[in-house]
Every structure is written in C-alpha cells, then in structure tokens.
Amino acid sequence: MDLFNRLFKGDRVIWVIFMALCIVSVIEVFSAISTLAYKSGDYLGPGIRHASFLLGGFLLILIIHNLPCRFFSILIVLMPVSALILLYTLFFGEEINDSSRWINLFGIRFQPSEIAKLSCIVYVSFLLSRRKMYTDAQIFKYILCGVTVICALILPENFSTAAILFLVCFLMMFIGGISLKRIGLLSVILLLLAVSFFSLLHSLPDPMIKKYDILAKIKHRTENTFTPTPPLDAKTYDLNDYNRQESYAKIAIANGGLGKLPGHGQQRDTLPQAYADFIYAIIIEEMGIIAGFFVLLLYIILIIRVGAIAHKCDKLFPKFLVLGCGLMIGVQALANMAVVVGLFPVTGQPLPLVSRGGTSTVITCVYFGIILSVSRFGAGMGNEDDEEDEDEEPQEIEGEKIEEEHRIEDKK
C-alpha cells in the first residue's frame, strides 16, 4: 500500500478515471479488431500494439506527474515547430483513409495535429497567465493569431480537429477573463462565417463540389445528420459510402440493450473503424447501454474534477493549463459520442484513451500526466503521504534531543 501511494501521486480520482478508461479500451479494442486480425492473419498483434501504446503512455504519466507543473511552459516552443511540421504535412504527408494527416519520421508515423493541439493549449495558458505583462487586447490578439494559424494548417485535411481545437481555445479565453465584448464579437463573426460557408456549400452544383473531397464529405455528412430520414416503407434506405458508418453504428446501438458481452458483437465485423472512431457503438452493443452511460460519466467526472483542481491552484498558468487539458479530452470525447449516437456529423475524432491509436493515445496520456502534475504541485492534492513523512522527521529528531538531554542530566 505504501508503494502504491508513493507511485500514484496526485489526485486519486483522476487516476481511477484513467485506469477505468484503459480497462474499457483494452477489452473493447481486442474485441473490435476482428477485421484487422483477419486481414493480417495475426489475432493478437493489433491488440498487443494498442496495449503497448497504453503501457508506454502509462509510464509517460508516471514520469510527467512527478515534474513540477511550472516546467511545462517550456512546451511553448512546440508552437512554431508544430506549425512547420503541419505545413510540411500538407504537401508531403502520408495519406491514410483519404486524408494526408500523417507524417513518417525516421520510421515513426505520427499525427502532427495532436502535437499542435498540445502546443496550442500551453500557448494559450501561458498568455492568459501573463496579465501583468500584456493588456487584455494584446493577449486576445496574440492568442487569436497563433491559434488561427495552427487551425488553418490543420483545416484542409482535418476540419473537425481544427474546429475542436479552436473551440477549446475559445472556451479557455472565456474562462480566462477575456472581455465579453471581444468574445461576443468573435462569436458573431464565427457564426456568420459558418452560416455563409454552409449556405454556399449547399448551393454549389455537385460536379464542382466533387472536385474537392473534403467539401463533398462535409456536405454529405451534414445532410445525413440534419436531414430528416423518411419512413422505411416510404423509401428504400440508401446505404452508401457517406452514411455507412452512421447506419451500422445505429444498428449496433439498437442491438445493445443490456449487452451481448465482449466478443459477441455483430457489427464489429461490418462497422468501418469499429476499433477507432466508432468504438463507442461497439461498447454499447457488447457491454450494454449502462456501460455506455458509465463511459460518458467518466468523462463528465473528469471535466468536473479538472475544474476542482483548477479552483485550488494559486497560480494562473497551472490553472489554465489543467483546464485546457481537461477540456481537450472532454470536448473530444463528447464530440465522438455525439457522432456515434447520430447527434452530430461524422468528425473522424477518436474516443480519447479508448479508441485504438498511436499518437492520439500517447498525447492523451500526456494530458493526464499534466493534469496529475498540476493536482500535485499546483493544487496540493494527493501529497498527504509526503506531508506525513515530513512531519515525522522533526518529531524523531525532537525525540532524540530529549533522550540526549536526559542522558546528560543522569551523568551530572
């Protein structure tokens, strides 16, 4: 027990959430990779790969949560580095699933957008914590310029990631005390741009839209989500490449009930990306609707707990940093689950720490490590054992002094 307390420091609730998500991930990914196992001829290989990333991420958390949170400001150097890598990816990125989101460096394949998200959170947190150095207008301008550049570089190949990143940074500015006048003006501008974009998108002729694959995907996905589906007896359901994922996900959820137990799901063999973007549907099908609510509850508790940690922070940088990390995990998770249940168009966002992945899994573990570090060094949570050890040492020294005084008196 003493070893456990010394190893797992920081907020215990965050540790429990992390462990619970890892357990769900290992069970469901091993179940949902049946198609990968069939193609590769290796049943254990794809699952062991995912488990190794989780194990590596866990070891990374053990290292990061022992680092004082003030050192994380160094990560701001990733901002220009990630911008350059994203620019390189646009022209020379490796194409997977019809998107050039990946880059291969020294045999290691990763998504630069995940590193860019982390750098933006640190960048925004750093600026929001420098109230004495910059005015409100300067902080707003610097954040808007930096984040816009990163999101613009992500946007051509990954619209959803750019949108979620901008939303998280927007929420951080709102929480960070940027004037409501500027926040409101930015909101109006963004709303007008969104309405103009989607109005233009749905008014252009199909031949023109088909020239740009990302525009075709956005149009069809929004139509599939927000256009009412006619009754099945009035029109034959058209299953195509644009609605295949949503359709099989709905079937998996409808068949869920109390659950079929892991390994007994039927849609894992037909649902595209069942082990990645749509693993939440497999969780509901195999483990039941109660398990689906349990996973949702874990992310909600994470957001609430991160807010409690931020409230206890005395300094601004760790306060905004932990909020940014928690919001990034929470918003992405809610977006993924909203897509799976048909409330939002398909985004291509994985379920943090649960979906099978490489870069996304590792970076999510970095977020957890930062949250735990801030809970320890910024909020003073989970360090009770260290405080007890520190209190015991003076008592032992005092006791030795008393014994020594008694010896001297006896000699006299």
Q: pLDDT tens for residues 192-219?
A: 988 888 788 777 777 766 666 667 777 7
Beta strand pairing status for 99-105 and 108-110? antiparallel
Q: What is the DSSP string of 400-412?
A: HHHHHHHHHHHH-
Cα-flanking dihedrals φ and ψ of residue 101, to 5°?
-100, -5
Residue spans of the domains in the chain: they are: 8-228+241-385
Which pLDDT does position 227 carry in this prediction? 64
Q: How many CB atoms lie within 10 A of CB 191?
A: 10
Structure tokens at 405: 């005084």
pTM for this entry: 0.86
Among 357, 354, 371, residue whose Cα is nearest residue 27: 354
* Strands lying side by side in the sheet with 99-105: 94-96, 99-105, 108-110
Among 194, 219, 224, 192, residue whose Cα is nearest residue 208: 219
Maximum average pLDDT range among 27-31, 212-216, 234-238, 401-405: 27-31
Residue 226's pLDDT band, with cuts at 50, 70 and 90, is low
- Distance between CA atoms of 89 and 93, rounded to whole angstroms? 4
Average of per-residue pLDDT across 243-254: 81
Q: pLDDT tens for residues 134-186?
A: 899 999 999 999 999 999 999 887 888 999 999 999 999 999 989 999 999 99
Which pLDDT does position 30 carry in this prediction? 86
Q: pLDDT tens for residues 35-79?
A: 777 676 667 777 888 889 999 999 999 999 999 988 999 999 999
Among 341, 370, 366, 373, residue whose Cα is nearest residue 352: 366
Average of per-residue pLDDT across 230-241: 58
Residues 6+ apart with CB under 8 A from 228: none
Residues 6+ apart with CB under 8 A from 385: 2, 5, 6
**Residue 385 one-letter amino acid:** D
Burial degree of 353 (CB within 10 A; 0-12, 13-18, 19+): buried
Q: Is the pLDDT of residue 391 over 50?
A: no
- What's the mean per-residue pLDDT of the chain? 82
**Residue 265 DSSP SS3:** coil
